[in-house]
Structure 1
Amino acid sequence: MAPFIPAPVFPPEITDSIIHELGAELPALRICSQVCRAWLPASRHILHQTLKLRGEDILGFMDIIASPENTYFATLRGLELSLCDNGPATVLLELLPKFVCLKSIGIYSSVFHYELPTLSSVTSLEFKRTEFRSFAAFIILLGQTPNLKSLKLTKVLWGPLPGWGPPATEDILPSKSIPRLELDVLHIEDRAFLDWFTSEVPAPLTSVLELFIREDNHQVPWGQASNIVDTKLLDKVSQYLQYLGVHLEQFYLRFSGSTQIQTLDVSTNTALRSLRINLSNAIPARNWTQYFSTTLPSLLERLRSDDIEELAVDINMILNDKNMNDKNIDLKRLSSILTSPRFARLRRLQFNGQWDGYAPRGRKSARKIFTDTVIDRLAIPSSCSIFLADPLKNEKHGSRVHHKLTR
């Protein structure tokens, strides 16, 4: 009889590393999770990173977690719910404290009329295209996540919503003081942040602020300039920036409208390290010369931080020889600011745009036009590098391919 030769056993560190390389290959991960007990933890760690459920999926998921073989309570780290306007969502939300590793919750495209239990493990909340009964109900909900560090609000509305009747007791903020949120990241799209300044609720502190505001064009009479509306919005933004003061370290502002951004007050943010400006459709093509010559320098001159390490500017236009006229653009003022002692720590100057698009035969590419018109004529600190980045390409391919420009 031939001697018994045991099958080779790989150290778990090796198999775990191989399984980790599978990444988002969910079918392969499911197979690995069923091979043996040793392969199960690493496979499940990825499979249970984030669970996405629609409203009609909740009942089926409730059956799964009711099974004795359920492992979601011990491993699930992220939960995303969409279209959860039905009854089963109430039962699922009541069970959330059982998910002991749960760190992030996302609610999308829903009318959120539920109450959350206290969730001490949750550090990240995201609401997108979601309607709440009231601003008070939203604030009370935030109070159920005492360790919240990241809050993202995109097109969030609060009532009273049609058909909901008069305000309920939970629609009124409690008389006791509500603790101020101290976040690492706050991302707000549209005007949701304004309600923090029209109520007695203290606005959140944050070290990273991503603020996207879209102008309400329907409020502007036809044929009239919208600078008044823009100024009021930017006054509120300036008020919030003053409130944040030295807490703010990274600021990303995207404003869609004919804005007067030179009125933005960033003088109190003396610990700012990273600044990104995106005016979206705010600047007509013919005004980009003025933007680089006057508007952007005016904003940078008001910075009082000596710690700026990264500056990013989004270019939201198709560049051509007509809208980037090298005879008119004046970069002396911008160059003088970037080479001043205040920007001595600048390490990265990045311009985001569509640089490698189609160029008609005999015409310069957008990359070439911008390089000739701005990059080659712009003075920067010797320690700084200039990058051209294509955010759309980054999102499509899941990578950050930057083009570093050398002098």
Structure 2
Amino acid sequence: MTSSRTSSRTSRIVRTGKNGQPLPDLVPLPLPISDVISLEIYDLIIDFLYSDLQALSTCALVCKAWLPASRLHLFCHLELAQLNFRRFLDLLKSPDFSAHVRARTNKMTMVQHTGSYKRWLQYCIPYLKDFSVKILDISGLAFAHNGNPPPYPELSGLQAHFQSVTQLHLRSTKLNSCMQLAELVCSLRNLERVSLLGVSWYPGAPSHPATGPVERLSLPPSLVELDIQSEHPSYLRDILNWLAEYDQESLPRIHTLVLVSQRQIPGPNDFGLSAERLLNNLGASLLNLTVSHFDFRNHEGDLHLLSLNTSLRTLHFYDVDVQRSINPELAVFHRRMYSWIPSMLAQIPSSDIRTVSFQVVLARAQHLDGLDWGALAAALSRPQFSQLARLEFKVSSFKKQAEKMIREKLLECTQRRILDIASFPNS
């Protein structure tokens, strides 16, 4: 009897489900996850999710311990637009959140969407003070009104609140004049890289700064890269004329320069004079140069480009259009357009050239005959190119046919095994 009672007391209670099947035994809850593995390990794991915004947002909701590391990447890049600027201002009303965002934001993008309210940025400007932004990307905004001064308050706010910026990218941005652009660039004293893609202003805008002579607008001393790509030659001409006014002593040591026009510039013209003056003033500091759609000869037909750029290492000819047109006059123009390229290569004094590249637009492989291959081969055989390690041709189409033709035309470069032929999507 006693043994029966003891057996009943020590017997295990088996839990069953609705279908009568036994359920697993209950186990104690695990320790908090942060007590099992060091938080530094989780921070490293979250760092690998830096580009996955959805995953970072989920991590931020797991626990307070994961929030700082998640926010670090979530707010590293802020994009402001008319669609979200009110929510952005509401978030900044929280003191703790505002301080965190101001300290963590490394890149800020300001985008103007088509058809949206155009003056939304003026409401954001007062709240942008003390942001530690290093990269400022502005796309589609207009800081002008029929060419009338004074500048918009948004532009003045950018000059006042973004002194920490080291990279400035302007895309499809409209200003009152080229000199308003000069004032913006020169006011950001810590700039290292400037990219101007499709910047424009009103026709007939003044070509001199409103504050006085160009000497009073000194370029940022830390500027090392300058990328200028214009949809219309007139805007590029104004920018070149502005930069050409600086002498060698007042120019920073720019080592990378991009001069690209989306439209062909008939030559010779004053573009060559301004470009020559700018390049000569840059002198030995220039290491990398990209050019397109230029005829750098002056009105007398002379070419003295790169004569002082003794340290040049990389030369890239961008968007070389050698297509033959059914229009004979246009076909002659295409041939003349790039006849200066071999002459330019032949005059380079630098013996440090490591890379020369061409991006060529083709409608047919036979259109490569538009280049003067004999003069090009002769230029590349000069002693200055004895250290050349890579000669690259990027073609828009017909890669196999183009590669065969190029290797036959440049036989010496083929034997040196420095030729590289690739393709690129032609939009």
With the length of structure 1 as denominator, give the TM-score of the two structures: 0.75
CA separation in 2, counterparts of 1:264 and 1:246? Answer: 15
1:98 partner SS? coil
Who is 1:239 aligned against? Answer: 277
The aligned runs of 1:210-249 (5 Å cut-off) are 210-215=258-263, 226-228=266-268, 231-249=269-287
Residue from 297, 307, 312 that aligns with 1:267: 307
Is it true that 1:172 corresponds to 2:211 in the alignment?
yes
Matched AA of 2:135? S
Is it true that 1:323 corresponds to 2:367 in the alignment?
yes
Residue 69 of structure 1 deviates from its aligned partner by: 4.3
Matched AA of 1:94? P
1:334 partner SS? helix
Matched AA of 1:272? L
5+ residue gaps, structure 1: 218-225, 356-365, 396-407
Cα pair 1:255 1:282 within 8 Å, conserved = no
Is it true that 1:341 corresponds to 2:383 in the alignment?
yes
Residue from 293, 299, 306 that aligns with 2:344: 299
Cα pair 1:111 1:130 within 8 Å, conserved = yes
Q: In structure 2, do the counterparts of structure 1 residues 381 and 134 end up closer, same or farther at CA, with 3 Å as the change threshold?
A: same
CA separation in 2, counterparts of 1:133 and 1:227? Answer: 28
5+ residue gaps, structure 2: 1-25, 144-151, 231-235, 326-330
User: How many residues matched?
Assistant: 363
CA separation in 1, counterparts of 2:245 and 2:377? Answer: 43
Is it true that 1:386 corresponds to 2:419 in the alignment?
yes
Residue 266 of structure 1 deviates from its aligned partner by: 1.3
Who is 2:196 aligned against? Answer: 153
Q: Which has the larger radius of gyration?
A: 2
Is it true that 1:90 corresponds to 2:136 in the alignment?
no
CA separation in 2, counterparts of 1:82 and 1:373? Answer: 45
Residue from 170, 187, 194 that aligns with 1:144: 187
Residue 110 of structure 1 deviates from its aligned partner by: 1.6
Cα pair 2:267 2:337 within 8 Å, conserved = no
Cα pair 1:275 1:311 within 8 Å, conserved = yes
Who is 1:6 aligned against? Answer: 31
Residue 149 of structure 1 deviates from its aligned partner by: 0.7
Who is 1:130 aligned against? Answer: 173
CA separation in 2, counterparts of 1:160 and 1:294? Answer: 32
CA separation in 2, counterparts of 1:91 and 1:354? Answer: 45
Q: In structure 2, do the counterparts of structure 1 residues 189 and 149 end up closer, same or farther at CA, with 3 Å as the change threshold?
A: same
Task: Name the stretch that deviates more: 148-157 or 80-89.
Answer: 80-89
Residue 312 of structure 1 deviates from its aligned partner by: 0.9
CA separation in 2, counterparts of 1:196 and 1:292? Answer: 25
Q: In structure 2, do the counterparts of structure 1 residues 32 and 386 end up closer, same or farther at CA, with 3 Å as the change threshold?
A: farther
Cα pair 2:166 2:193 within 8 Å, conserved = yes
Residue 350 of structure 1 deviates from its aligned partner by: 1.4
Is it true that 1:103 corresponds to 2:134 in the alignment?
yes
1:323 partner SS? helix
2:141 partner SS? strand
Is it true that 1:206 corresponds to 2:249 in the alignment?
no
CA separation in 1, counterparts of 2:338 and 2:214? Answer: 51
Q: In structure 2, do the counterparts of structure 1 residues 234 and 143 end up closer, same or farther at CA, with 3 Å as the change threshold?
A: closer
Task: Name the stretch that deviates more: 35-44 or 46-55.
Answer: 35-44
Is it true that 1:77 corresponds to 2:106 in the alignment?
yes
CA separation in 2, counterparts of 1:234 and 1:246? Answer: 19
1:227 partner SS? coil
2:140 partner SS? strand
Matched AA of 1:212? V
1:210 partner SS? strand
Deviations 1:104-125 (A, max 9, x none): 1122222222302153321011
Residue 199 of structure 1 deviates from its aligned partner by: 6.5
Task: Name the stretch that deviates more: 90-99 or 198-207.
Answer: 198-207
Matched AA of 1:380? C
Q: In structure 2, do the counterparts of structure 1 residues 179 and 295 end up closer, same or farther at CA, with 3 Å as the change threshold?
A: closer
Q: In structure 2, do the counterparts of structure 1 residues 138 and 39 end up closer, same or farther at CA, with 3 Å as the change threshold?
A: same
Cα pair 2:399 2:423 within 8 Å, conserved = no
CA separation in 1, counterparts of 2:125 and 2:59? Answer: 30
Deviations 1:129-150 (A, max 9, x none): 2222344433333343211111
Cα pair 2:271 2:296 within 8 Å, conserved = no
CA separation in 2, counterparts of 1:79 and 1:177? Answer: 29
Who is 1:31 aligned against? Answer: 58
Cα pair 1:235 1:264 within 8 Å, conserved = no
CA separation in 1, counterparts of 2:420 and 2:214? Answer: 51
1:374 partner SS? helix
Residue 193 of structure 1 deviates from its aligned partner by: 1.5
Who is 1:363 aligned against? Answer: none
Is it true that 1:186 corresponds to 2:230 in the alignment?
no
Q: In structure 2, do the counterparts of structure 1 residues 49 and 375 end up closer, same or farther at CA, with 3 Å as the change threshold?
A: farther
Who is 2:10 aligned against? Answer: none
Is it true that 1:372 corresponds to 2:372 in the alignment?
no
Matched AA of 1:90? Q
Who is 2:21 aligned against? Answer: none
Task: Name the stretch that deviates more: 1-10 or 373-382.
Answer: 1-10
Q: In structure 2, do the counterparts of structure 1 residues 215 and 206 end up closer, same or farther at CA, with 3 Å as the change threshold?
A: same
Is it true that 1:119 corresponds to 2:162 in the alignment?
yes
CA separation in 2, counterparts of 1:292 and 1:198? Answer: 23
1:389 partner SS? strand
Task: Name the stretch that deviates more: 286-295 or 113-122.
Answer: 286-295
- Between the aligned residues of both structures, percent identity stands at 23
CA separation in 2, counterparts of 1:135 and 1:329? Answer: 35
Residue from 63, 72, 77 that aligns with 1:45: 72
Cα pair 1:254 1:278 within 8 Å, conserved = yes
Residue 331 of structure 1 deviates from its aligned partner by: 4.2
